[in-house]
Amino acid sequence: MIIWITGANGFIGRHLVRVLADQGHAVYGIGHGAINEPERQRIGLGEWLNGEIDATNLNTLAGRSGLPSTIFHLAGGSSVGLSIAQPLEDFSRTVSSTARLLEWLRASAPECRLIVASSAAVYGAHHAGAISEEAETRPMSPYGHHKLIMEQLCRSYADSFGIRAIIVRLFSVYGPSLRKQLLWDLCLRLGRGQRELVLGGTGNEARDWTDVRDVVQLVAWLARVDGESLKVLNGGSGIATSVAEIARLVTNAWGGNIAVRFSGTVRAGDPFSLVADARQLAALPFNWRIPVQEGIAQYVSWYKGQAR
C-alpha cells in the first residue's frame, strides 16, 4: 500500500514509519522538521516533505508517491503546557491542519482511509474510573479542546462526504526516544545526580500508560479494521498506574537511594484520572504486549544508553 503519515518526524511517527516499512508498505511523510537522507533511509521513509499540511504540499507529495490508500494523521499539538502558553499555535497545528487535510481528501482522494491520533484529554477531569468512548467530553485545556474540534471535523466530513476515518484517543504514551514529559524529566534530574525528587501533584494521579511500541502496532492494525464511516476508539490498556508508582519504577530501575516526594500543587489542565475503558479494543481484538513495569525499565536503559 501507499501510506502517508502526517507528523512522521514526531515521537510516535518515527516508530510508526518503521513498523509500516517493515510490513512492506511504501511510506511517505509530511510535517515539520528536517530529516537527512541517511536518517530517512534508516527509519524506512520513502519520501519526506518538510512543510505545512496544505493543498500545495499534499499535491506535491501525491505527485511523488501517487495517491495514498491510507493516511495516518499524527500531526498536531502534543503538549498541554504549550497549548496554554501558545493556544493559537496549538489550534493551527491541530485544527487548521486537519481541516486542510480533510478538504484535500474530499477533493483529491475520497476513497483514502484516514486514521487519526486524538487524545484522552478530550474527556476532561470529571471522570472516575475507566472512561468509555461514549463518556461526556469536557476538555479542560486548549490542547484537549483542539483535539475535540479535530474529531468533530472528521465526523462532519464522514457524515457529509463519506470520508472513512478511525479516531483513536491515545492515553499516556511513553517509550524509547521520548524526550519530554514525566519520564524524561525524571531521568534528566537523576542523570544530574539528584537524589531527592520533588514532583507536582499528590502522586495519586492515575494514568493509562502505554508503550509506544504497542501503540504503533495498534495504530497500524487499525488500518485493516472495516466498519462504519467513522469509528472512535480508546487507545488505552484499561490499567491505571499512579504517578507515584511510575516514579518508583523509574528510581528502582535507575538504582541507588533516591527519595521522591510530592508538592501537592496540581498543574493547570491536568486531570486527576485518565484511564481507558478498553472493552471495545479488546473485542476487536487487540492485545497490549508490554507491561508498564517492563516498559519503564527499558525506557531508563534507553536513556542511560543515549546519555553516554
Check whether residue 215 and residue 266 sit in a common domain: no
Beta carbons within 8 Å of 36's beta carbon, 6+ residues apart:
none
Give the per-residue pLDDT at 38. 93
| DSSP E strand boundaries for the chain | 2-6, 26-31, 47-50, 70-73, 113-119, 130-131, 164-170, 172-174, 196-199, 206-207, 209-211, 230-235, 241-242, 259-262, 273-276
Check whether residue 159 and residue 296 sit in a common domain: no
Q: What CATH number is attached to the domain comprising 73? A: 3.40.50.720
The better pLDDT of the pair 206, 126 is held by 206
Q: C-alpha cell of 62?
A: 501525491
Check whether residue 183 and residue 163 sit in a common domain: no
pLDDT, tens only, 87-103: 999 999 999 999 999 99
Query: What residues form DSSP beta bridges with 242?
Result: 206
Check whether residue 131 and residue 165 sit in a common domain: yes
Distance CA 238, CA 241 (A): 10
Q: What CATH number is attached to the domain comprising 188? A: 3.90.25.10
Check whether residue 48 and residue 162 sit in a common domain: yes
Mean pLDDT, to the nearest integer, of 129-154? 96
Check whether residue 157 and residue 102 sit in a common domain: yes
Check whether residue 162 and residue 26 sit in a common domain: yes
Rg (CA), the chain: 19
Amino acid in position 218: L
Contact between 8 and 74 under an 8 Å Cβ cutoff? The reply is yes
Statement: residue 307 has pLDDT above 70 = no
Q: How confident is the model at residue 269 (pLDDT cuts 50, 70, 90)?
A: low
Give the per-residue pLDDT at 99. 98
Check whether residue 56 and residue 153 sit in a common domain: yes
Check whether residue 230 and residue 198 sit in a common domain: no
Check whether residue 271 and residue 217 sit in a common domain: no
Give the per-residue pLDDT at 21. 96
Domain region containing 124: 2-171+211-235
Statement: residue 275 has pLDDT above 80 = yes
Per DSSP, the three-state class of 81 is helix
Helix H or strand E segment including 281: helix 279-283
Question: Considering its fold, how many domains does the chain have in total?
Answer: 2
pLDDT, tens only, 174-219: 999 999 999 999 999 999 999 999 999 999 999 999 999 999 999 9
Nearest CA-CA partner of 51 in 116, 109, 100, 119: 100
Check whether residue 250 and residue 267 sit in a common domain: yes
Check whether residue 193 and residue 145 sit in a common domain: no
